[in-house]
Chain A
Amino acid sequence: MAKVPVQFTLNGSEKAEFVESGTTLLAALRDKIGDTSPKGGCHQGTCGACSVIIDGELRLSCLTLAETCGGADIKTTAGLAEGGVLHPLQRAFLDAFATQCGFCTPGMIMAAKVLLDRTPNPSREDVVEALSGNICRCTGYEPIIQAVLLAARANSQNAA
Chain B
Amino acid sequence: MSLALRTFSSMKDANAALQVSGTRYLGGGTLVVRAANEGDVAVSSLVRVDDPGLSQIAVSGGKVRLGASVTMAAVARHPELAALAPAARAVGGPAIRNMATVGGNLFAPAPYGDFAVALLALDATVVTEGGEMPIETFLAGRDTSRVIVTAVGFSLPRAESFRFLKVSRVKPKGVSVLSIAALLELAPDGTVTSARIALGCMADRPIRAKAAEKALLGCKLTQQEIAPALAAAGEGIAPITDPVASAWYRAEVLPVHLGRLLLN
Binary B-proximity of A124-145 (CB < 8 A = 1, otherwise 0): 0000111011100000000000
Residues of chain A with a CB closer than 8 A to B95's CB: 45, 48, 51, 58-60, 111, 133
B93 on the A face (CB < 8 A)? yes
Within the complex, what minimum Cβ distance (angstroms) separates A47 from chain B? 10
Q: Is A58 in contact with B98, judged by CB distance below 8 angstroms?
A: yes
Q: Is the CB of A22 within 8 A of B4?
A: yes
Q: Are B5 and A63 in contact (CB under 8 A)?
A: no
**Cβ proximity bits B28-41 to A, threshold 8 Å, 1 near / 0 not:** 11100110111000
A85 is an interface residue with CB less than 8 A from chain B: no
Interface string of B1-39 (1 = CB under 8 A from A): 111110000000000000000000010111001101110
The distance from the CB of B51 to the nearest CB of chain A, in whole angstroms, is: 14
B93 to A21, Cβ gap below 8 A? no
Q: Are A132 and B29 in contact (CB under 8 A)?
A: no
Q: Which of A4, A22, A64, A132 contacts B2 (CB 8 A)?
A: A22
Chain A residues with Cβ below 8 Å from B99 are 59-60, 63-64
Q: Return the chain A residue nearest B2 by Cβ.
A: A1
> Across the interface, which residues of A come within 8 angstroms of B5, CB to CB?
4, 21-22, 65, 67-68
Q: Which 9 A-B pairs have the closest CB atoms?
A: A133-B93, A22-B3, A132-B173, A43-B37, A132-B93, A58-B95, A63-B33, A57-B98, A21-B4
Residues of A within 8 A of B (CB): 1-2, 4, 20-24, 43-45, 48, 51, 57-60, 62-65, 67-68, 111, 114, 128-130, 132-134
